Each structure stands twice: as C-alpha cells, then as structure tokens.
C-alpha cells in the first residue's frame, strides 16, 4: 500500500500540471493555481504540504496502525490460548479433587462395612463357643451316665439322691441353651440413604463467573486520610457491561507507594461488589492494582492521594446554642445537651426533631454533664446549682442532690456498675446508683477539666496539663502521651477538654487544646498510653471540643466514628478515628 501511494501524484482537474496541496490545519485539499478558489486563500497562514506527501504520510499511519492492530490481535490470541490452557488445568485439578474426595468417601464406606462385618463375626464366634462348650458338657454327662448304666453297679438310693439334686441344675445348664441365636443389625437404612443423598447433593457445587475484568472498575468511597480505613469499591460487570449481582470472584488487590507494599483487606459483599480497605500510616500517593482471574480491571492501577488531613464526615443539621454534650442511643437517636437554650434536644440523624426536654435542672444555661441511664432516664449535672439530677423523658426530676463538698462540678459520667463519677475542680467524686457518696480522690497539682469511663471501669481524668488514668478505686495507673515525642520535647502543653475510650478498638480519643498554638485538635492514643495521630478537623476547625461520645456497640456501621460537640461553634460533628 505504501509503495503504491508513493507513486501517485494527484493533480488538479483544471490544471493537470499542478499538483494538489493539502492544508493540515483545515484538513482540506486544494489547487494552488485555482486563484478563484476561496479555499486556498484562507490557508495561506497554515501549514500546507503537497497532497502526494500527505497521502504518503497517511499510508504510513495506516500501515503503522494496522501493524499495531495485528500485534494486538496476536497478543489477544496468545492471551485467549493461555486462558484455555488455564481452564483445562483448572478442570484437571477439579477432576483430581473430585476423584480424591470420592475415593476417600469410598474408603470410609468400605472400612465401615468391614468393621460391621467383623463385629458380626466376632459376636457370632462368641455365641458359637458358648453353645459348643455346652454341647461338649452334654456329651460328657451323657457318656458318664451311659457308662454307669452299663456297669450295673448302681446304688439305687445314692443314684436317686444324685438325680434329685442335679435335676434342677440340668434344666438350667444342660437342657436349655446357655446362649441364644439372636443377632440383629440396628440401622435406619432409609434415614442413612437420605442423609447420604443430601450430603452428596450439597457436595461439589461448581462456581463459575461471568465477570469481565476489562469492564470492572474501582472507585474511592470516602475521603482518604492516614491512620484510618480508606475504603474503595470494586464493581464487577459481565462482557456486555451488565452489573453482576453475585460474588465469589478471585480478586487480588495490592497497594504500593514507592517500593513499599501495604496490606489491604478485601470483603466480598456478595452482590457483585467488593469492599477494599487500606490503612496507610504515611501520607503519599498510593497505587492500587486490582486483578480478577489474573487480569487487570479497566482503571487499574488506580492512584489515590492519602494525606494527613482529617475533615469531619458529617454534621448534625440542627440549630444549637453553646451545646456541651451529645449521646446516641441504640435506636440511633441523638441526645444533645443544648445548654444555651436550657434544653435537651432529641433528634434523628437527618435533623428531624423528636422532642425537646425541659427541666428545672437545665436552667441557667449552666448544664454541663449528661449521661444516658437505663429505663429511659437521664443524668444531668448543673455547675451553677451544684446539683446532680436524674430525670425522665418528660423532664420530671426523679432524684436530685446538692453535695456540700462540690466546689465547681464540671463533668459527669456513669460507669457500668451504675456509679456516678463527678469531676470537680480538684477531685473526682464517686456516688453509687442511688446518688449516695462513696469516696473521692484528688488529682494533685492539676486542675481537673473532664472525666469519663475507661475500659474495665477504669476512670479517665482530663486536666489542664494532660490525661491520666485511674482504676475503679481511684488509684493512679498512668498518663497518656498526647503528642509525638518531638512536640512534647519542645515544651508544648495541652489542656484536655474531653475524652472517650472505645472498648472495641482500645483507642482513646481526646479533645485537646495546644496552649502554645491556641489550636484545638483530637488526639488518638492507644489505651496503653502511646500517641497515634491527630485529627486536625481540616476544613471545619474545632474551637472547643467539650464533649466526645461513641455510638453503642450494637451499631456496627458506626464503629470507628466519634461525635464531637463544639461549645464555641455550636455544632455536633462526626470524625473517623479508625
């Protein structure tokens, strides 16, 4: 083709001696000698080449593309051939597995058959031996009696006594068989056959797939950040582009940044989609490679940038005024202590109001503590009145106390034993479930700022200089690192505004304010005390995170999320910490 095109010299029909020209910009063919033509006038500022050269270039392009297509077809032929070979190998493996399994089943059946037959024969031999021994005894007794009769030396009286004494024993031992011929095989043959038939019918279900990797895609589900689960979704399609509705595909996923490979988790959602979870500790660009049947999907490798910024995932869409605490119950209802409006708001996740609770113990815009109790009751702490109150959902006060030793009660928590933990300015007071004082313990040298439950009824105490852990009896256990070592060494000081411990992940989420930078963040620590990372609330900065809560353990979809109440911005936001 290329050689033929090279010999052709196109010319104008009006001017046979003039070769046609070609404008690359306009993609037009024209004659330079046709002055009346308007086409050649507008191409004077463009790149114009002889049409014969253009044909030559086009022929070269066509030949190049044809060769590329031919190479692609050869690769496709090789790939399909390899797939056929792989199919045959898989079938051979399956057939070998089937034969091996059924051979094992046959061996088990044959061994059991032999065991039963052997047990029957053994039992028969035991019975036969007893009966044969009895026959020998009968024969011996018969011979003895015949011999005495033949000798004619019978003592009639002696013989009569012997016969009388032996008559009953003969009946028992000789005249009746000592064993019996009873043998029966106890089987439920019908049930056995049904069970075997059902088991064999359930065995060997063949799984196949119509997934076409070239149509499958991977996408990012949520914003990516370090130290938390970054989730991707792989959607599978068949060769015609239809979404698949079942799982079971052999999907392989690898995540790399640089030369390092990170571990990933793949969850089959059994609806044609697969959840891929990556937890990265280093901010970087990660390349996610996904293959199905050993072949890459359409947009693999998929590149995602993971940074150390942690914006809020959600914000409660209601109006509040200086809220201090938020809790969520097992029905996914939010209880917000709206201190500025002297009420507790019960709302749904979408912001729909369920009810407002108003009570005398909420007056003065000074309610600072809230806990959910059993039996649809709430515990409220008011720092102005120095009162701890127990109220119902109508706002009626069930019980209330004013403790004389309170100076400035600022926080409230209730542990698994029903004990009330009250944080005062320099002490933690512990009351029983009937609000009777039990004991108190000081935190020397620091002003207390908050209190909450740890694991196993430990007590977490926040101060103006860090976070401390005490056991259920008030004995000091350890302090927590609220920053990396280099930050601590620089002399930074942190005020703890709020804290919560997660019993599922054994993580502690702490709302802190860096005094030096006057910046509020969330610090995530391990329960053993070591620092993990910061949640910087990028894009929606926290000002005063005065309350942090977690969802109940039965709400599995909310695991790894914390709900932060900001007193200054009057918001309730959700952050991902796991």
Omega before 301 within 30 of 0, i.e. cis = yes
Q: Which two tokens stand for residue 222?
A: 């949520």
Residue 432 backbone dihedrals phi, psi, to 5 degrees:
-80, -175
Per-domain residue ranges of the chain: 2-97, 213-306, 314-576
Distances (CA, A) of 555 to 219, 317, 491, 501: 26, 21, 40, 16
Q: Which two tokens stand for residue 225?
A: 């950040």
Position 333 scores a pLDDT of 94
Position 5 scores a pLDDT of 46
Position 39 scores a pLDDT of 52
38-62: average pLDDT: 71
**Higher per-residue confidence, 438 vs 57:** 438
Phi-psi group of 249: left, alpha or beta (phi > 0 → left; psi -120 to 50 → alpha; rest → beta)? beta
User: Of 319, 411, 424, whose CA–CA distance to 370 is shortest?
Assistant: 411
Position 2 scores a pLDDT of 46
**Higher per-residue confidence, 189 vs 521:** 521
488-509: b (≥16 Cβ within 10 Å) or e: eeeeeebbbbbbbbbeebebbb
116-138: average pLDDT: 89
- What percentage of the chain carries pLDDT values higher than 70? 90
pLDDT(383) > 80: yes
Distances (CA, A) of 172 to 134, 178, 179: 11, 8, 12
Give the largest Cα separation in the chain, rounded: 166
Position 268 scores a pLDDT of 93
Position 300 scores a pLDDT of 86
How far is C-alpha 537 from the chain's CA centre?
25
Using pLDDT thresholds of 50, 70 and 90, give the confidence band for residue 476. Answer: very high
pLDDT(36) > 60: no
pLDDT(174) > 80: no
User: What's the rounded Cα separation, in Å, for the pair 331 and 378?
Assistant: 16
213-306: CATH superfamily: Immunoglobulins (2.60.40.10)
CB 145 within 8 A of CB 137: no
pLDDT tens string 230-257: 999 999 999 998 999 998 899 999 999 8
530-557: average pLDDT: 91
Distances (CA, A) of 250 to 279, 295, 434: 22, 11, 58
Q: Which two tokens stand for residue 382?
A: 């008011």
How far is C-alpha 8 from the chain's CA centre?
69
Burial class (CB in 10 A: 0-12, 13-18, 19+), 217: middle
User: What's the rounded Cα separation, in Å, for the pair 434 and 399?
Assistant: 9
Mean of the per-residue pLDDT values for the chain?
87
3-state secondary structure of 394: coil
Position 154 scores a pLDDT of 56
Q: Residue 124 contacts by C-beta under 8 Å, 6 or more apart in sequence?
A: 183
**Higher per-residue confidence, 320 vs 164:** 320
Using pLDDT thresholds of 50, 70 and 90, give the confidence band for residue 171. Answer: low
User: What's the rounded Cα separation, in Å, for the pair 126 and 438?
Assistant: 77
pLDDT tens string 400-438: 999 889 999 999 999 999 999 999 988 999 999 999 999
pLDDT(441) > 70: yes
pLDDT(387) > 70: yes
53-61: average pLDDT: 79
Q: Which of 15-24, 300-309, 384-393 has the lowest mean pLDDT?
A: 15-24
Reported pTM: 0.74
User: What's the rounded Cα separation, in Å, for the pair 567 and 548?
Assistant: 12
Position 58 scores a pLDDT of 79
Query: Which residues is 402 bridged to in the sheet?
Result: 387
3-state secondary structure of 93: helix
pLDDT(40) > 70: no
Position 79 scores a pLDDT of 85
User: Of 217, 210, 218, whose CA–CA distance to 239 is shortest?
Assistant: 210
Q: Which two tokens stand for residue 374?
A: 């059993």
User: What's the rounded Cα separation, in Å, for the pair 235 and 136?
Assistant: 85
User: What's the rounded Cα separation, in Å, for the pair 99 and 525?
Assistant: 55
User: Of 365, 357, 351, whose CA–CA distance to 323 is shortest?
Assistant: 365
User: What's the rounded Cα separation, in Å, for the pair 556 and 500?
Assistant: 18
Position 1 scores a pLDDT of 46
Position 487 scores a pLDDT of 64
**Higher per-residue confidence, 77 vs 37:** 77
**Higher per-residue confidence, 134 vs 380:** 380
Burial class (CB in 10 A: 0-12, 13-18, 19+), 246: middle
568-574: average pLDDT: 95
User: What's the rounded Cα separation, in Å, for the pair 181 and 128?
Assistant: 9
The CATH fold assigned to 314-576 is Neuraminidase (2.120.10)
pLDDT(508) > 90: yes
Using CA atoms of 365, 367, 373, 377 in order, give the dihedral in degrees to the nearest 10: -40
Q: Residue 563 contacts by C-beta under 8 Å, 6 or more apart in sequence?
A: 326, 328, 334, 548, 549, 550, 551, 572, 573, 574
Q: Which of 197-211, 455-469, 493-507 has the lowest mean pLDDT?
A: 197-211
E strand spans, 420-559:
420-423, 427-431, 437-442, 448-453, 459-463, 466-470, 476-479, 494-502, 507-514, 519-526, 531-535, 545-549
Using pLDDT thresholds of 50, 70 and 90, give the confidence band for residue 217. Answer: very high
CB 46 within 8 A of CB 24: yes
- What percentage of the chain carries pLDDT values higher than 90? 55
CB 211 within 8 A of CB 237: yes
pLDDT(43) > 70: no
pLDDT(384) > 90: yes
């Amino acid at each position: 083709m290329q050689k033929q095109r090279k010999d052709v010299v196109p010319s104008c029909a009006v001017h046979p001696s003039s070769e046609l020209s070609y404008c690359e910009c306009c993609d037009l063919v024209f004659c330079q000698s046709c002055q009346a033509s308007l086409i050649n006038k507008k191409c004077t500022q463009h790149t114009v080449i002889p049409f014969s050269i253009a044909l030559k270039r086009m022929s070269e392009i066509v030949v190049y593309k044809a060769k590329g297509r031919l190479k692609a077809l050869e690769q496709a032929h090789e790939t399909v051939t390899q797939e056929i070979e792989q199919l045959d190998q898989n079938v051979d493996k399956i057939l070998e597995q089937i034969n091996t399994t059924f051979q094992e089943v046959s061996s088990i059946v044959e061994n059991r058959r032999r065991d039963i037959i052997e047990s029957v024969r053994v039992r028969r031999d035991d019975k036969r031996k007893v009966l044969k021994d009895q026959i020998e005894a009968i024969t011996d007794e018969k011979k003895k009696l015949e011999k005495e009769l033949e000798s004619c030396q019978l003592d009639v009286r002696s013989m009569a006594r012997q016969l009388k004494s032996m008559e009953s024993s003969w009946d028992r031992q000789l005249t009746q068989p000592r064993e019996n011929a009873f043998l029966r095989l106890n089987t439920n043959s019908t049930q056995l056959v049904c069970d075997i038939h059902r088991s064999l019918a359930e065995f060997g279900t063949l799984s196949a797939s119509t997934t076409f990797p070239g149509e499958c895609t991977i996408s990012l589900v949520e914003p990516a950040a370090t130290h938390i689960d970054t989730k991707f979704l792989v959607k599978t399609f068949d060769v015609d582009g239809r979404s698949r509705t079942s799982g079971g595909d052999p999907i392989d996923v690898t995540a790399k940044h640089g030369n390092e490979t990170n571990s990933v988790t793949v969850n089959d959602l059994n609806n044609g989609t697969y959840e891929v979870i990556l937890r990265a500790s280093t901010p970087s660009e990660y390349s996610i490679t996904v293959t199905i049947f050993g072949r890459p999907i359409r947009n693999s490798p998929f590149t995602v940038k993971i940074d150390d910024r942690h914006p809020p995932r959600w914000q409660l869409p209601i109006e509040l005024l200086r809220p201090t605490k938020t809790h969520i119950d097992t029905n996914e209802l939010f209880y917000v202590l709206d201190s500025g409006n002297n009420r507790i708001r019960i709302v749904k996740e979408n912001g729909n109001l369920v009810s407002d609770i108003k009570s005398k113990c909420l007056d003065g815009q000074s309610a600072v503590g809230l806990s959910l109790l059993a039996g649809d009751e709430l515990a409220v702490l008011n720092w102005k009145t120095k009162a701890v109150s127990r109220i119902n959902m109508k706002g009626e006060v069930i019980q209330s106390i004013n403790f004389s030793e309170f100076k400035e009660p600022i926080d409230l928590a209730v542990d698994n034993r029903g004990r009330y933990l009250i944080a005062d300015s320099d002490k933690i007071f512990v009351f029983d479930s009937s609000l009777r004082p039990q004991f108190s313990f000081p935190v020397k040298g620091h002003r207390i700022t908050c209190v909450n439950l740890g694991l196993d009824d430990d007590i977490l105490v926040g101060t103006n200089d860090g976070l401390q852990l005490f056991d259920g009896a008030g004995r000091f256990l350890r302090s927590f690192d609220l920053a990396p070592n280099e930050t601590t060494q620089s002399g930074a000081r942190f005020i703890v505004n709020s804290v919560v411990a997660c019993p599922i992940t054994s993580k502690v989420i702490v709302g802190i304010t860096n005094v030096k930078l006057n910046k509020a963040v969330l610090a995530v620590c391990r329960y053993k005390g070591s620092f993990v990372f910061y949640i910087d609330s990028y894009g929606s900065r926290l000002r005063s995170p005065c309350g942090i809560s977690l969802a109940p353990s039965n709400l599995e979809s909310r695991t790894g999320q914390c709900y932060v109440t900001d007193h200054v911005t009057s918001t309730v936001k959700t952050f991902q910490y796991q």
